Chains A and B, each alone.
Chain A
């Protein structure tokens, strides 16, 4: 990387920019052929810097899930899950289209890009 970062944006902003374009992108280390999330400037643990962005398949499995209790006037109960992506990495997200307390570990899910509080966000649906 050049020392001067002017005119570029970091991986976090790149990820958000992709989301704004409707793409759920994750990083892959080319030499190790390994995917990882969250976005970083180098492969975690090894420091490899030969990275590329790849569009995620969007396929995943619920690793854990919880129903967060919230008053109806504040928006009501909502789901919070950890999803293991087909490519290997894990991501926090919400599973929607199902009661927030009915999401089960092991269920297969598929990502789509929706929005939360006006920001683009990866959301999963049960498949």
Chain B
């Protein structure tokens, strides 16, 4: 594709409303009710009426045809809908598709949504089928896959479980500043806490793994010309790209190199910015190994060097890199598919810095003067990688 064609989408659309719903525990609420609540709250945030919504994008582990079910529930007849399911990164790809549909004039207002009540109905929920050629060995997916990647990473780069633990510690330190975080009251983590937690699949213990919570989220998107007239500060989509090269972990060409290398490079190119320009970095941290891999694959350091980058609390609140500032999937919220929460945090940081009231944080929880955020989504077993670059008006 010609470079000019890729850049056509840069800055053409914006998120003008966002909301989360039922994060943590939402006993007595269905996944659909949680998702629809987030949609209505996001529309209120945008100051846009439901009647104007003509694009619906959704994926969950509860609905085989989520975009259709959500449209029906809302009472919306979309001119374009997309329920593509590529795991937890689905929503970041929905945002790309929504931007395309908005820019093409097929729709005028898009909602991208997710909802889950997995925790209150019994635990991690997946609709993933058993993988041929793998299932008979009874891997505990997805954690077994990430453990295999972590083990290989440790072997190739001399990393240790302490290096992985630094990721969990930083995530918790951020959560302590965020009253919305599930572990906000739980106190800080030590290396020993992480290393002595119950082993799940070696080398990953319980605190190397994300939370299991309920929760829903939604964002509202319009074209940038319309966005200027909405209630709150619009945040512009500057870059977006996706790639995947496997579905099963046994088919991953290289366990320590994800398709984020490709998605990140194309998203940053489209945005016109570089990794080091990002004021906040929001990465899909379903497991501690993810953060190390994505810091490298997105270009924040060279391959194998993330273990150094995360030392000395460098990705925590007092560090140089503002990574997973909500507390991440490890310590804030993880209702099964986390992608929209990566997105919400990227957007909230920019809106807060722009003067919007998007909630309270303890000192240091909001990043001053944040203008650019990268949101990176991961799906499957380090499979689908989708990168979105977000910026305030000045960055257009």
Binding site for B on A (CB under 8 A): 12, 37-39, 63-69, 78, 80-82, 90-94, 101, 105-106, 116-117, 119, 121
Contact = CB atoms under 8 A, between A and B. Distances in A.
Nearest to A92: B250
A101 B202 CA distance: 8
Residue in A64, A69, A81 whose Cβ sees the most chain B Cβ within 10 Å: A64
Contact of B147 (A66, A119, A121): A66
Contacts of A106: 155
Interface of B: 132-134, 136-140, 144, 147-149, 151-152, 155, 198-203, 248-251, 255
Contact of B151 (A37, A65, A121): A65
Contact of A121 (B137, B144, B155, B250): B137
B199 A91 contact: no
Nearest to B139: A80
Contacts of B134: 92
25 contacts: A38-B248, A38-B250, A39-B133, A63-B255, A64-B152, A64-B155, A64-B255, A66-B201, A66-B202, A68-B139, A68-B140, A68-B144, A68-B147, A69-B198, A69-B200, A80-B148, A82-B148, A82-B250, A90-B251, A92-B249, A92-B250, A105-B155, A106-B155, A116-B138, A121-B137
B159 to A, nearest CB: 13
Given A92-B137, A93-B137, A69 B151 contact: no
Contacts of A92: 133-134, 137, 139, 248-250
Given A91-B133, A92-B134, A92-B139, 13 more contacts: A38-B133, A38-B248, A63-B255, A65-B151, A66-B202, A68-B139, A80-B148, A92-B133, A92-B248, A94-B137, A101-B202, A116-B136, A121-B136
Nearest to B255: A64
A67 B137 contact: no
Contacts of B136: 116-117, 119, 121
Given A38-B132, A67-B201, A67-B202, A80 B155 contact: no
A106 B152 CA distance: 10
Contacts of A69: 198-202
A65 to B, nearest CB: 6
A75 B384 CA distance: 33
Contacts of A80: 137-139, 144, 148, 201
Nearest to A75: B138
A93 B136 CA distance: 9
Contacts of B255: 63-64, 82
Given A91-B133, A92-B137, A68 B151 contact: no
B137 A63 contact: no
A11 to B, nearest CB: 10
Contacts of A67: 199, 201-202
